[in-house]
Structure 1
Amino acid sequence: MRPSLPLRLASALKPTSSSSLSRPGPMAILPPIPLYRRLLRAHRKHLPREMRLLGDEYIKAEFRAHRDVENPAHLIGFLTEWQLYAQKIEGESWVGEKLDEGKIAKMSDEQLEQLYELMKAIQKGEAGEDGSS
Structure 2
Amino acid sequence: MRTASKLLMASAMASKGPTPGPMALLPPIPLYRRLLRAHRKHLPSEMRLLGDEYVKSEFRAHRNVDNPAHLIGFLTEWQLYAQKIEGDSWVGEKLDQAKIEKMSDEQLGQLYELMKAIQKRDADGETGS
Question: Per the shorter chain, which TM-score range?
Answer: 0.7 to 0.9
Q: Given the alignment of the two structures, is residue 39 of structure 1 paired with residue 35 of structure 2, yes or no?
A: yes
* 2:121 aligned counterpart, secondary structure: helix
Which ranges of structure 2 fall in alignment gaps of 5 or more residues?
15-19
The equivalent of 2:55 in structure 1 is: 59
* 1:43 aligned counterpart, secondary structure: helix
Provide runs of 4+ in structure 1 moved above 2 Å: 2-6, 8-15, 24-27
Q: How many residues align?
A: 124
Tell me which moved more, 46-55 or 2-11: 2-11
1:86 aligned partner, one-letter code: A
Report which of the two structures shows the higher radius of gyration computed on alpha carbons.
1
Output the CA distance in 2 between the equivalents of 1:71 and 1:83: 18
Shift of 1:6: 2.4
Output the CA distance in 1 between the equivalents of 2:114 and 2:81: 16
Tell me which moved more, 4-13 or 66-75: 4-13
**What is the TM-score when the length of structure 2 is the normalising length?**
0.88
The equivalent of 1:90 in structure 2 is: 86
Output the CA distance in 1 between the equivalents of 2:70 and 2:56: 18
Q: Report if the CA contact (8 A) 1:9-1:75 is conserved.
A: no
Give CA-to-partner distance per residue, 1:28-69, whole Å, 9 cap, x none: 000111100000000001001100000000000000000000
2:8 aligned partner, one-letter code: L
Q: Report if the CA contact (8 A) 1:43-1:55 is conserved.
A: yes
- Pair 13,45 (structure 1): closer, same or farther in 2 beyond 3 Å: closer
What is the alpha-carbon root mean square deviation over aligned residues? Answer: 2.1
Identity of aligned residues (%): 75
Output the CA distance in 1 between the equivalents of 2:46 and 2:96: 24
The equivalent of 1:9 in structure 2 is: 8
Shift of 1:7: 1.2
Tell me which moved more, 57-66 or 4-13: 4-13
Aligned with residue 80 of structure 1, among 76, 80, 85: 76
Q: Report if the CA contact (8 A) 1:42-1:89 is conserved.
A: yes
Which ranges of structure 1 fall in alignment gaps of 5 or more residues?
16-23
